Structure 1
Amino acid sequence: MRFRGNKQFASAVGLVLGLLCAVEAAKVNKHKPWIETTYHGIVTENDDKVILDPPLIALDKDAPLRYAESFEVTLTKEGEICGFRIHGQNVPFEAVVLDKSTGEGVIRAKEKLDCELQKEHTFTIQAYDCGEGPDGANMKKSHKATVHIQVNDINEYSPVFKEKTYKATVIEGKKYDNILKVEAVDADCSFQFSQICSYEIVTPDVPFTIDKDGFIKNTEKLSYGKEHMYKLTVTAYDCGKNRASEDVLVKISIKPTCRTSWQGFNKRTEYEPGTGSLALFPSMHLETCDKAWMCSCLRKWLQR
């Protein structure tokens, strides 16, 4: 019985020694942390949360095995991840460890991001474990991984017209495919929010229409006798449905149709007997639509 008890005691001592050796072996920081080689992230401007693909997780082969619940607290920290380090000049991001034992971390913005100033950021990142030791010599770092982060736009700007006022002149009695074009621009950085999706004539009950590109045309033949000038208020919308910060004024003048006719004579002339001769039409002249044509005809007539 004594031999058997000694054998059990020896086995227990061997188990304890084996566990102690395992613990001591775990204290040796043999391996570097490992992370992915490339990360792609998205962050919305004016926000600090970066969504990474793949997630930021550092692994270390020095992470100890879980022998028993009672032994976990005695195991060394070489396999834990103590931090992430970002490399680059003026990088507006930081990396934070969420859980040292799992190596899980996040990247977040340190300051307000502006897509209009910079749409993308690229930098490198490393993970380092907790095996520093007294002189810091035992700390090991991972390789440097490349991080690409895209800054998503928010629709913070409204369309602005390039001109304060637009003017055009049309001839009465004609329908035009294009009278003039108004144009607005938007300062947002993304294609969606910087594009002008539509224009609108705000003034009601006018014989004009405007298309999505800003071209204005009349919907019916215009009459100088009815209206000499139309004043239209036009606005614009970007593709995020933001309206122009200020509407624009459009003035369209109507020019009467020219007709050749005699001008400068009175339909009624009064004459007093005995006063001598009286010129009936001293200022009468022929008004033509094409003065160049009239001069050409007069020149040919004088050359006969």
Structure 2
Amino acid sequence: MRFRGNTPFASAVGLVLALLCAVEAAKVNKHKPWIETTYHGIVTENDDKVLLDPPLIALDKDAPLRYAESFEVTLTEEGEICGFRIHGQNVPFEAVVLDKSTGEGVIRAKDKLDCELQKEHTFTIQAYDCGEGPDGANMKKSHKATVHIQVNDINEYSPVFKEKSYKATVIEGKKYDSILKVEAVDADCSFQFSQICNYEIVTPDVPFTIDKDGFIKNSEKLSYGKERMYKLTVTAYDCGKNRASEDVLVKISVKPTCKPSWQGFNKRIEYEPGTGSLALFPSIHLETCDEPITSIKKRECVTFGLFFPPFYSLVLITKN
């Protein structure tokens, strides 16, 4: 068949032949795929979707011209991305190709992640093309890129008190800046969800308050005659508003006002003649109530450094 002149048909045939030649030339896998050098990702624990920045896309200069499809030219696999390979020990992620022709891929967790066990993961990744021909000969790989993935926490744990119960003793008539401190902890990995933001006294109508750090104090002076022991139920909240798994019991005992006096002796002592020596005051002591001795009233007399108790009676027991 002969073509005369520069007819449109001849031009079209020439273009198709040129494209076919280009495609045949492109069957040689000359270039390695290209990916970014570093990726940063975020994944929420108990989820598998990784939000990656920048997106995972592999490029290959061997990719055929896209507009060749309009001329029904058969495209070869040269330049397509067949997969991504992750390198590292016990990496809980996998990389999947979404579109071979565009090189788009995603990274996802193989199983649910636990932020409390590991907050961050670092590994390397490579892209590899589909090689030449149907058997994938002469497959080429990209350089290794570093991937850093942070595991975001969810508020799955509730506060737990360090002690099963708390107790303290106060003196009646005294107002304290702090009586005792309760403390709860939270096993979540993030700062927000692992911090205790608030404590609360659940028991109503009690003369006590508690601050955000767990310090309990009395809001009014206490009376031994009115109440000798208070039982308070206290709870805690983390900064994600999770309440303690179990509230804690706090017991506060009220002691009567201390008065300096002699303690540990009997005012009446019975003695039977002939029975030998008898210790009169084996355990006597002066209760100073933590006051200086010089401030104790003169009736608890202090003379030459010796303490003398009040009068006592000695009763002799005689046999009939």
* Global fold match (TM > 0.5): yes
- Listed one character per residue, the Cα deviations across residues 104-138 of structure 1 (whole Å, up to 9, x for unaligned) are 11000111211111111111111111124466442
Name stretches of at least 5 consecutive residues in structure 2 with no aligned partner.
292-318
Q: String of CA shifts for 1:220-257, please: whole Å, max 9, x gaps.
A: 01110111011100000011111111110101111111
CA shift for structure 1 position 259: 3.4
Asked if 2 retains the 8 angstrom alpha-carbon contact of 1:63 and 1:79, the reply is yes
- Give, in angstroms, the shift of residue 66 of structure 1: 2.5
1:30 lines up with 2:30 in the alignment: yes
- 8 Å CA contact retained: 1:133, 1:139: no
- Which 10-residue stretch deviates more, 251-260 or 2-11? 2-11
Question: In structure 1, how many angstroms separate the alpha carbons of the residues matched to 2:34 and 2:273?
Answer: 122
- Per the TM alignment, residue 16 of structure 1 is displaced from its structure 2 partner at its CA by 3.5
The answer to whether the 8 Å contact 2:3/2:10 transfers is: no
Aligned-pair CA distance for 1:49: 0.4
Q: Is the 8 A contact 2:28 2:132 kept in 1?
A: no
Q: Give, in angstroms, the shift of residue 65 of structure 1.
A: 1.1
CA 72–36 in structure 1, closer or farther in 2 if over 3 Å, else same: farther
**SS of 1:170 mapped into structure 2:** strand
Structure 1's 18 and 205: CA in aligned 2 closer, same or farther, altered over 3 A?
Answer: same
Provide the TM-score with structure 1 as the length reference.
0.82
Distance of aligned partners of 1:12 and 1:231 in 2 relative to their CA distance in 1, 3 Å threshold: closer
Query: SS of the counterpart of 1:67?
Result: helix
How many residues are matched? Answer: 293
C-alpha distance in structure 1 between counterparts of 2:137 and 2:171, whole Å: 88
Compared CA separation, residues 206 and 68, structure 1 to 2 (3 A): same
Gaps of 5+ in 1: 292-302
- Distance 1:29-1:260 versus aligned 2 partners, 3 A rule: closer
Q: Is contact 1:66–1:72 with CA below 8 Å preserved after alignment?
A: no
Distance change >3 Å, CA 187–CA 268, structure 1 → 2? closer
Alignment of 1:231-250 (within 5 A): 231-250=231-250
The alpha-carbon distance between structure 1 residues 282 and 187, as it changes in their structure 2 partners (threshold 3 A), is: closer
| Cα contact 2:43–2:149 (8 A) shared by 1 | yes
Partner of 1:102: 102
CA RMSD of aligned residues (A): 6.3
Q: Deviations over 1:191-224 (max 9, x none)?
A: 1111101100000000000000000000001110
Moved over 6 A (4+): 6-10, 261-288
CA shift, 1:14, in A, is 3.8
Aligned partners of 1:276, 1:125: CA distance in 2, in Å?
96
1:179 alignment counterpart? 179
Cα gap change, 1:57 to 1:215, in 2 (>3 Å): same
Aligned-pair CA distance for 1:268? 18
1:267 Cα deviation from its structure 2 partner: 16
Q: Residues 169 and 17 from structure 1, CA distance in 2 versus in 1: closer, same or farther, beyond 3 angstroms?
A: same
Pick which of 277-286 and 80-89 moved more: 277-286
User: How far off is 1:75 after superposition?
Assistant: 1.6
Cα distance change of structure 1 residues 12 and 245 upon mapping to structure 2, 3 Å threshold:
closer
